[in-house]
Structure 1
Amino acid sequence: MDTVHHLDDGTIQKWNGECHFGWVLGGRAIQDVRIRPKRPAPSTMYGTTLRIFDPGIDGWHIIWNDPLNQDHSRQIGRAEGKDIVQLGSDSHGLKTRWRFTETTADSFHWIGEERSSESDLWQITYEHFARRQNPEAS
């Protein structure tokens, strides 16, 4: 996965990382694990997301946690057309929106956005460009 971090001053940071997805809890939930090595330092992040479908809301309860940096987010996710959109808030009180777009069998574009309570505008903070790795290449 290639990541672009959009900073408040308009600069960007880029790095590579890994993202592993799989069904867990007997097929009742989807979990991903995101790993970002220490490039650029000290941007290390090891986080996990658990997504559990709730037919009562026709959506997913989503919990993301990065225990290394003591950061977390809770969201509700739903399909919007061809995209998946997750809305919630993070541990800093900011509203969050994660959008999964341009999804194919082998790739997707994951856009992370936030907005403060003073703003109605979403600000892109992260973009992740994920692609399935060929198992023979590992």
Structure 2
Amino acid sequence: MTDFARLLHADGPNSEHAAALQLYGRFVGDWDAEITAHGSDGTTHAAPGEIHFGWVLEGRAVQDVWIIPRPAGAPAFPIAGNWYGTTLRVYDPTMSAWRICWFDPARSVFRQQIGRPHGQDIVQEGTTEAGELTRWSFTGITTDSFRWLGEAKPNTAADWRLMVEVRAKRRKG
């Protein structure tokens, strides 16, 4: 392992905020996913994908990689496009919340959000570069599965619109 990889990755949560770090730490591992993109005209498209979560930065953060669709060289996924991006999720004890940055350089999509527990779910909120509100939620969380919803709301709209839904199952073995 290179020095960079060795210094980035961590074996587990930092003991200073171990309980709070489990909000996202429970996802550490490898996941298979079924992604459904929802067009504004009511059309939907589905594709397989994969998600990988790990501890980083002395166990003070969780980083993930989302890959959709899985096959290399696959044609563009309608509506949502192909994803090969990473999220850095850092717990900020000064606000009892998570600072979240998503980077997808191939699509030039970059988002910043604040994440917090909401009952049994996790809700992340932010805005796009154009000022559109974003809400990404983890729901139905179990040890081996979760559902992720990507929603958007233009400033002029009354309601949120579901853009992407991900159903993930933990890989066995």
TM range (shorter): over 0.9
Deviation, 1:6, is: 0.4
Q: Which residue of 1 aligns with 2:112?
A: 74
For 1:32 and 1:126, the matched residues in 2 are separated by: 18
Alignment of 1:16-35 (within 5 A): 16-35=48-67
For 2:74 and 2:157, the matched residues in 1 are separated by: 31
The counterpart of 2:84, out of the listed 32, 46, 53, is: 46
Q: As a proportion of its length, which structure holds more strand?
A: 1
Matching of residue 14 in structure 1 with residue 60 in structure 2: no
- What is the TM-score of this pair, normalised by structure 2? 0.74
For 2:110 and 2:130, the matched residues in 1 are separated by: 9
The counterpart of 2:126, out of the listed 88, 101, 104, is: 88
Deviation, 1:55, is: 1.0
Alignment partner of 2:45: what SS? strand
For 1:53 and 1:3, the matched residues in 2 are separated by: 27
Matching of residue 65 in structure 1 with residue 103 in structure 2: yes
- What is the TM-score of this pair, normalised by structure 1? 0.93
Matching of residue 105 in structure 1 with residue 114 in structure 2: no
For 2:111 and 2:158, the matched residues in 1 are separated by: 19
- Structure 2 unaligned segments of length 5 or more: list them: 1-32
Q: Which residue of 1 aligns with 2:93?
A: 55
Deviation, 1:128, is: 0.4
- Structure 1 unaligned segments of length 5 or more: list them: none
Whether the aligned pair in 2 keeps the contact of 1:15 and 1:39 (CA below 8 Å) is no
Q: CA-atom RMSD, angstroms?
A: 1.3
